Amino acid sequence: MRLREREKLLLATLSGLMLTASFPPGDAGWVAWFALLPLLLSLNRTPPSRAFRLGFAAGMAHYLTLVYWVIVAMSHYGGLNLVISTSVMVLLCLYLSLYPAFFSYLCVLFEAKRFFVFQTAALWVLLEYLRGKLLTGFPWCLLGYTQYGFIDLIQVADMVGVYGLSFVIVALNGFVHSIGFRGTAARKTTLTWELPLVLVMFLFVFLYGDYRLSENRSGEKEDPFLKVAIIQGNIDQSVKWNPEYQRKTLEVYERLSLSTRASTPDLLVWPETAVPFFFQEGNELARKVLEIGEEIGAEFIFGSPAYEREENAVRYYNRVYLLTSGRETPAHYDKVHLVPFGEYVPLKKFLPFVNRLVPAAGDFAPGKGIEPLRSPLVSSGILICFEAIFPEIARKQVERGAQILVNVTNDAWFGRTSAPFQHLSMAALRAVENHRPLVRAANTGISAFIDSRGRTVQESVLFREAVLSAEVRLPGPTRTFYNRYGDVFVALVFAIMLIILFPKLCYNRKLLE
């Protein structure tokens, strides 16, 4: 079937829109299993240069409808004018669209006669991995996150991470395309060489998921538990940093926190920068925070900005404190992976027109290391906001002894967009990858309790005050394959791809055209 150029462009655009539809807030994760079919169909009998443009079109359709919330964050809450905010969002989408563009280009350039399905999935995963690393990384809404609601399926992430889930999804897209739209010879080759591998892969994924969940059900009653309370203050971002509103903010958190006394929590968790002043200065408001913790009688985790003076410079940090009885100096963790243009300006000498979105003096500096906050009751691996989308940070926290993961965030920046739902879905995979329950406290939502298998036990509603209480099961010290070895699956895929492509890299004349 020969397609006109306009038809190919429409198919590529359709793929981009289907990709967006497969992510939260909708419950259409199943769309991801077919979302790439229109794009792959448009690539049939298409030269590499044209394939690049089609992939780029798919990417623009996808990312413009996925990360539109950047405009809300930068204009409504960040104070930048609409033209600059829109320009920054479009530039981000142009950059992100290069990844599906190169995917399409390489699919056509190295089109495989055998193992087309594997090669297609491998190219997608390798490009996703690069997106998560280059230019500080932006692994927002990788394809595997679409499946966070399918609990049986995502258990395999404790071996292969979110990239492994992406591989499985793209493999099915490639398989259906190959047997349905690539011609008789390609269909026969796929059925002969790849059908057995695809069947084994899916059988393993679902049997492994069933095994993991049944193992969890049989053993979870024996695990010790911790009573945890989450406080969602729902503080309006437009007044959050207003000095005149600081006392009122604290009164809201005090009122909600005191309501938990009847449940006698072991651990109380407030969101990122819930304390909108420098707690370290020990002023009247800081002393009030201490009093609240003492009155509740629980260990207490909360966020507050901090600073350190170094000769003639001052370094600011996005910090989380842990207050425990009997410890004079609170433990703390400083955010190590900052948000570009939100908490610091990369290459600011060359981008003087872009200001921080955080109304605090000076740029934030990254923390000096990743260590859990330890107490007599529990060791908590802290993930501050954006850090929840980086698997390696949660891995290091658990590697260094974290029994639970605590994600504190202020998603008020996103407004009433799809971003808070997407952020939650990504945090859930960190629990699965490491077999650690995740406690999520968000200023305006979505706060949640997520168990060690990625199931959402409780969650709050956006833009409402909320108090969530639950018993959090503490797993043993056992670490998952993924936690021990990280993205070895991606490395394996890369190695096999090099073996497959080496002859083509040497002899394929297309590379010289």
Nearest to 35 by CA among 158, 166, 219: 166
DSSP conformation class of 364:
B
Give pLDDT, residue 477. 86
Q: What is the pLDDT of residue 110?
A: 83
pLDDT in tens, 396-448: 999 999 999 999 999 998 999 999 999 999 999 999 999 999 999 999 989 99
CA dihedral 321, 341, 247, 238 (to 10 degrees): -150
* pLDDT for residue 357 is more than 60: no
Q: How far is the CA of 377 from the CAs of 229, 230, 257, 400, 472, in angstroms?
A: 15, 17, 20, 16, 12
3-state secondary structure of 112: coil
pLDDT at 127 (0 to 100)? 98
Domain boundaries in the chain?
5-218+487-512, 223-479
Q: Which single residue is written with the structure tokens 């909320």?
A: 466
Query: At residue 382, what are phi and psi to the nearest 5 degrees?
Result: -90, 135
Encode pLDDT of 102-114 as tens digits. 999 999 988 877 8
Mean pLDDT of 194-216: 93
CA 15, chain centre distance (Å): 22
Clarify whether 335 is annotated catalytic: yes
Q: Given the residues 93, 107, 141, 385, select the one marked as catalytic.
A: 385
Find the catalytic residue in 8, 240, 299, 335: 335
CATH superfamily of 223-479: Carbon-nitrogen hydrolase (3.60.110.10)
Q: 138 pLDDT exceeds 80?
A: yes
- Using one digit for the tens of pLDDT, what is the confidence trace for 182-203? 888 888 988 988 999 999 999 9
Long-range residue pairs from 68-75, CB within 8 A, at least 24 positions apart, any chain: 68/417, 69/414, 69/415, 69/417, 69/418, 69/419, 72/413, 72/414, 72/415, 72/417, 73/342, 73/357, 73/413, 73/414, 73/415, 74/341, 74/357
Catalytic residue flag (residue 272): yes
Per-residue pLDDT band at 325 (split at 50, 70, 90)? confident
Active-site residue, selected from the candidate residues 272, 387, 433, 459: 272
- pLDDT for residue 510 is more than 60: no
Is residue 45 within 8 Å of 4, Cβ to Cβ?
no
Residue 312 pLDDT grade (very low, low, confident, very high; cuts 50, 70, 90):
confident
**pTM greater than 0.85:** yes
Least confident of 35-44, 85-94, 342-351, 362-371: 342-351
